[in-house]
Amino acid sequence: MLLTACGVQTPADSSMSVETNSLIGSADEGKEADLSHAALLGNSYIDGFVTYDVLPDTDCFYRIGLTVRSVFTKPMLNREIPVIDELANGKNYDKVFLIFGENELGWTNTQAFYDGYGEVIDAVRERQPDATVYIQSILPVSAEVSEKNIDCTNNEQILEFNDMLKKLSEEKNAIYLDVASVMMDESGNLPEEAATDGIHPGIEYYKKWADYLKKNAVSQ
């Protein structure tokens, strides 16, 4: 087992290798994806898409604090079914964008996160067999939040988790989207002006995020 600076144990096996030939979303110059038949599924980051209405035609299924485990048991606000089952709503999505990982950074067993995320992808495909599945990178946090390192929320840890997500995308034939690349400064941190809490971006950065999805999900 490898021990990270935060005390998280990372299995030293091939399933967690940094080297990867994963499918990575790329921009198709001059074109934008139609996201009117797409869904976002995941944690509280999706709340910003709803609050700021930057993807008005995209369905959003989420819960604050959601993890790759609780997605199978916890419902959305004022709903009764598990969040994952919101995808079994009779609609036929062509794209499902996943965002998990921020709430799992402090897990002592990173293999559980890796395996759990894989189970989420399997469950998405059971409910939406025609959809392309996209794994979005975990976003960086501000330098201040990273330095405080509460629950292992630091940018070094986030980079390690994103390496796992790249490998997972290869294993599961999903598309990895490096959203973090448009949400960081030259030092790899979320810019201080981007978020009042150093974690959840404001509207201007959600616009960047939405633009990234439109441009990088075109040719998939």
At 30 the pLDDT is: 64
Residue 79 domain flag: yes
Residue 31 domain flag: no
Identify the bridge partners of residue 97 per DSSP, sorted by sequence position: 40, 134
Structure tokens at 204: 């201007």
Share of the chain above pLDDT 70, in %: 85
pLDDT at 13 over 90: no
C-alpha distances out from residue 139 to 125, 201, 206, Å: 24, 10, 12
pLDDT tens readout for residues 41-83: 999 999 999 999 999 999 999 999 999 999 999 999 999 999 9
* Contact between 199 and 205 (Cβ < 8 Å): no
- Range in 1-10, 23-32, 196-205 the model is least confident about: 1-10
Residue 131 domain flag: yes
Residue 99 domain flag: yes
**Do the strands 38-42 and 23-24 form a parallel or antiparallel pair, or are they unpaired?**
unpaired
Residue 12 domain flag: yes
CATH code (residue 108): 3.40.50.1110
At 28 the pLDDT is: 56
Residue 62 domain flag: yes
Distance CA 23, CA 126 (A): 21
At 31 the pLDDT is: 82
- Range in 26-35, 116-125, 160-169 the model is least confident about: 26-35
Q: Regarding predicted confidence, which is higher, 187 or 6?
A: 187
Residue 30 domain flag: no
Q: Regarding predicted confidence, which is higher, 16 or 186?
A: 186
Own/partner pairs for 181-186, CB < 8 Å, 24+ apart? 181/137, 182/208, 182/209, 182/212, 183/139, 183/140, 183/208, 183/209, 184/140
Residue 29 domain flag: no
Q: Which domain holds residue 64?
A: 2-24+36-216
Q: How many domains does the chain have?
A: 1
C-alpha dihedral sign at 204, 189, 47, 212 = positive
